[in-house]
């Protein structure tokens, strides 16, 4: 996948997380993962169709999710991920992807996104046809989120 198709996802994730949580978001070393990929804890999956087709997922620990949701809920301490908390963390993924869609549109690249799907558990395994680009994002004082890009340009 071309870098110009990866950067909007990174830019959107950093921008939205910084706006929601008021923290710096540091980019880690990007790497590739072969299929199948295993996840632990929480994964938010959002499909992409249009000029780019595939899936973008956000992988994070329950502890990081609770911290983010606590901030989203105005500082209320979140001790468990109930339905409202799960909805909030899914909405963060939706906001990031909406922002990415806007960035792509300004570059005349049309994409649409699906509603987020939230998976929780240990050793979640996902199989994909192409390798996944993993972009680690370190959220100052909150933990980390892996942005997983499993998409390609449709010619």
Q: How confident is the model at residue 121 (pLDDT cuts 50, 70, 90)?
A: confident
Is omega for the bond preceding 56 within 30 degrees of 0, making it cis?
A: no
- What tens digit of pLDDT does each residue of 88-100 get? 999 999 999 999 9
Answer yes or no: are the C-beta atoms of 57 and 46 closer than 8 Å: yes
Q: Beta strands 111-113 and 37-50: pairing type?
A: antiparallel
Number of H helices, E strands in the chain: 3, 8
Contacts of 130 (CB under 8 A, 6+ apart): 35, 54, 150, 152
Answer yes or no: are the C-beta atoms of 37 and 126 closer than 8 Å: yes
- What tens digit of pLDDT does each residue of 2-45 get? 778 899 999 999 999 999 999 999 999 999 988 777 776 899 99
What pTM was computed for the model?
Answer: 0.91
Structure-model confidence comparison of residues 152 and 35, the more confident one? 152
Contacts of 88 (CB under 8 A, 6+ apart): 69, 72, 73
Q: How confident is the model at residue 155 (pLDDT cuts 50, 70, 90)?
A: low
Name all domains of the chain by residue range, CATH numbers in brackets: 3-153 (3.40.1550.10)
Quote the CA–CA distance of 57 and 79 in Å, as a whole number: 24
Quote the CA–CA distance of 136 and 78 in Å, as a whole number: 24
Answer yes or no: are the C-beta atoms of 127 and 35 closer than 8 Å: yes
């Amino acid at each position: 996948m071309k870098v110009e198709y990866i950067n909007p996802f990174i830019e959107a994730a950093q921008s939205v997380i910084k706006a929601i949580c008021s923290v710096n978001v540091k980019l880690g070393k990007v790497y590739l993962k072969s299929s199948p990929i295993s996840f632990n804890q929480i994964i938010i999956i959002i499909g992409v169709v249009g000029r780019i087709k595939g899936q973008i997922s956000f992988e994070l620990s329950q502890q990081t999710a609770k911290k983010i949701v606590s901030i989203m809920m105005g500082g209320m301490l979140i001790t468990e991920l109930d339905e409202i908390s799960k909805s909030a963390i899914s909405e963060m993924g939706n906001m990031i992807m909406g922002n990415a869609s806007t960035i792509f549109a300004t570059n005349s690249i049309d994409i649409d996104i699906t509603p987020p799907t939230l998976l929780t558990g240990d050793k979640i395994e996902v199989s994909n046809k192409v390798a996944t680009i993993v972009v680690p994002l370190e959220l100052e004082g909150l933990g980390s989120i892996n942005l997983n890009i499993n998409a390609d340009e449709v010619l």
